[in-house]
Structure 1
Amino acid sequence: MDDSVFISYCVVAGSFLFFQFLFSAVSSRISLKVCNGYKKLSYAKQCEWDSRIVSNVHALIVGSFCLYILVYDDAVNADPIWGDPFQVKMNVAITSGYLVYDLLLFARFWKLMSDPYMVCHHFAVIYAYGYVLNRGVLPYFANFRLISELSTPFVNQRWFFDAINVPRSSRFFVLNGLAMAVVFFIVRIAVIPSYYSQVFATFGTEGYIRLGIGPQVAWIVSCVILDILNVFWMYKILYGFYRVVKSKPGGKPTRNHAD
């Protein structure tokens, strides 16, 4: 194992411990102080609340780092398959540690927080990012996928409002729903044509051939799975927003799986 791979896995371990610490020792204490509704939640909802606080912290760290790399990392932008991957590997390592923490959280609280779609998402990402950590390949494309994290805080805020019974017809709920739909569309759906045009542009190049069949399959299969999930979630967001807008003032529509 070379030094860069060793450092990457140290960051994965550190990331896992950091996010686990936030969930176990920090989130609940802060939430009790800043939100009166937190103490009224059931144990199951408190667990999910804490997990979403951690999710927001991860999204802000990784999303910000992602934008920095996209703008300033010339080596990665010049060679999206084999460019110097160090900064991207650090960002991917942070995300990988978070994903391991989150999968273990699902396993521990499956009866309370079961989400098979999110588990599929996590395994697809870890499968693909393993090649980035071990071989340093596809740094541009690996980092580009992380731009999707910028929509996470809005998704979580919608859940927070629901958990403390903020009326779905309230101004804050509707504005957050609108922002969530717009940002989710921009960072997860609107970028699909541009992303795949860049993917297709690499086919047949020397850099692409050097990858070998393993990374090629991991790259393409994981991208397809993630984008199917993104389109599915976009549908749920739009349908949920439609139901909020069409509900009677002060009312709260019956929840279903599209919420």
Structure 2
Amino acid sequence: MFTDPELRADPVNYAPVVAHQMMAITVGYLAGDFLVVFSHQKQFGVAISRQTMLHHFIGVVGFSIMILFRVFSWFAIFRLSSEASTVFINIRWMLATNPKWKSSWLYILNGSVMTIVFFAFRVGSLPYYYYVLVDAWPNMVATRETWQIITLLVFGSTIDTLNVYWFSKIWGGLMSMVRPRSKTQ
């Protein structure tokens, strides 16, 4: 994304093969994980399951459009980079299932790293994403179909809304872990 000058020069139309390979792998993962989450909604919790399924649905449809029409590769790679936090989210979930681990230093350390990485890749990086989007807008309007642009904007803003919401929950959870608990007298 940052090392390919052609991709940065034309984030709308330049379509490197490796980007499409990464998107194809991601579509397969998201489709499979969608089925797992759908099948186990009660275990995961219905609200988080629906949010996750929405996230995965948008990813599958959005990346599929990008693959089929060879469009918006820079934006797709940017979105894929946000998954850097997923490993910490999954580790947190595994640690949280065992009460002994949930109060461990490892749980707190992982939660802290998860919060930092989640913020850096999913929330803190958004101004740069939208800067590139605005910068690429004239090229986008001149070369892409309206429905493709609308899909990019609607799907992207929906994912961003979910990520900001999830970050607020993650931040609240971290603060409740690290704040000293007041003792009632």
TM-score past 0.5 threshold: yes
Q: CA deviation at 1:247?
A: 5.8
Is residue 95 of structure 2 the alignment partner of residue 164 of structure 1? no
Cross-structure match for 2:166:
233
Relative to 1, partners in 2 of residues 1:167 and 1:102: Cα closer, same or farther, differing over 3 Å?
closer
Cross-structure match for 1:153:
87
Q: CA deviation at 1:109?
A: 2.8
Give the aligned CA root-mean-square deviation in angstroms: 1.7
Cross-structure match for 1:197:
131
Q: In 2, Cα distance between the equivalents of 1:189 and 1:232? A: 10
Relative to 1, partners in 2 of residues 1:107 and 1:180: Cα closer, same or farther, differing over 3 Å?
closer
- Letter aligned with residue 230 of structure 1: N
Size of the aligned set, in residue pairs, is 178
Q: CA deviation at 1:77?
A: 2.3
Which range is displaced more, 207-216 or 109-118? 109-118
Cross-structure match for 1:105:
36
Cross-structure match for 2:150:
217
Q: Where does the alignment leave 5 or more consecutive residues of structure 1 unmatched?
A: 1-69, 249-259
Q: CA deviation at 1:71?
A: 4.2
Query: What TM-score results when the alignment is normalised by the length of structure 1?
Result: 0.64
Does structure 1 conserve the Cα–Cα contact (< 8 Å) formed by 2:27 and 2:63? yes
Does structure 2 conserve the Cα–Cα contact (< 8 Å) formed by 1:128 and 1:219? yes
Cross-structure match for 1:183:
117
Q: CA deviation at 1:204?
A: 2.3
* Counterpart secondary structure, 1:81: coil
Q: CA deviation at 1:230?
A: 0.4
Cross-structure match for 2:76:
142
The percentage of counterpart residues that share the same residue type is: 30
Q: CA deviation at 1:201?
A: 1.1
> Where in structure 2 are the equivalents of 1:96-135 lying within 5 Å?
96-113=27-44, 114=46, 115-135=49-69
Q: CA deviation at 1:102?
A: 1.4
Q: CA deviation at 1:122?
A: 1.1
* Counterpart secondary structure, 2:138: coil
Q: Where does the alignment leave 5 or more consecutive residues of structure 2 unmatched?
A: none
Does structure 1 conserve the Cα–Cα contact (< 8 Å) formed by 2:38 and 2:53? no
* Counterpart secondary structure, 1:231: helix
* Counterpart secondary structure, 1:137: coil
Q: CA deviation at 1:192?
A: 0.5
Q: In 1, Cα distance between the equivalents of 2:102 and 2:40? A: 28
Q: In 2, Cα distance between the equivalents of 1:183 and 1:103? A: 23
Is residue 16 of structure 2 the alignment partner of residue 85 of structure 1? yes
Relative to 1, partners in 2 of residues 1:107 and 1:157: Cα closer, same or farther, differing over 3 Å?
closer
CA deviation string 1:38-65 (max 9, x = no partner): xxxxxxxxxxxxxxxxxxxxxxxxxxxx
Cross-structure match for 1:32:
none
Q: In 2, Cα distance between the equivalents of 1:84 and 1:204? A: 18
Q: In 2, Cα distance between the equivalents of 1:110 and 1:168? A: 22
